[in-house]
Amino acid sequence: MVDAELRKIVAEMFDLMYEARGVGLAANQVDLPYRLFIANPEGEPDSKESEFVFINPRFLERKGMAEAEEGCLSLPGLYAMVKRPDQVVINAYNLAGEEVKYELDGLFARIVQHESDHLDGVLFIDRLTPTGRMALSESLAEFELDFRSRQDRAEQPSDEEIAARISELEKART
C-alpha cells in the first residue's frame, strides 16, 4: 500500500541517491524491507520528470545483449564491464499505487536490471565474467579487508548481526 510514510521513504531515497551521484537505488541497499527501487536515468535532482519508482517489479521480457560499464553505490569507485539484455519490459507499481508497464532500452534498461538484481541479493560483480572478476580481485579484497577491519572496531555489524537482520528483512517481506 502506498501511503504518506512510503512517499517520505522514497523521497529520502532520492535524496540519498543524488547525494551519492547515482542513477538508481534499491530499498534493501538502505536497509529497508521493501521490494522497491528508484531510478532517474538523467541523474539530475532537477529532472523530476525523469524520476521513477518501481514497487514489486517483474520483468515480462528481456531481449538483445549489450556490454557496458557499471558501478554501484554499494561498492564506491568500483567499475566493470557487464553484459545484460539491452531491452526489457518491466511491470511494477508506481508511487501513485498504479500498475505500470515500461518498455526500456539502453541505459534505463540497464539501471532497472541492476536495481532489480539488488532486490534479489545480486551485485553487478556477480555478473562478471571470470576474467572481469579476476581484474577486480585486488579491489574486492581491499573492500573486504576494510569491512572486516570496521567489524573488528565495532563500526560495522558482525556477521551474526547481519544474518539476523537479513532474516528480519525476509520475514518483513512475507
The answer to whether 92 and 58 have CB atoms below 8 angstroms apart is yes
Beta bridge partners of 37: 26, 54
In 3D space, the residue among 14, 28, 32 whose CA is nearest the CA of residue 74 turns out to be: 28
115 is catalytic: yes
CA 174 – CA 107 distance, rounded (Å): 32
Q: How many CB atoms lie within 10 A of CB 36?
A: 24
Beta bridge partner(s), residue 53: 38
Compute the distance between CA of residue 116 and CA of residue 75 in angstroms, rounded to an integer.
16
Q: Which of 115, 155, 160, 168 is catalytic?
A: 115
| Strand partners of residue 52 | 39
Catalytic residue set:
115
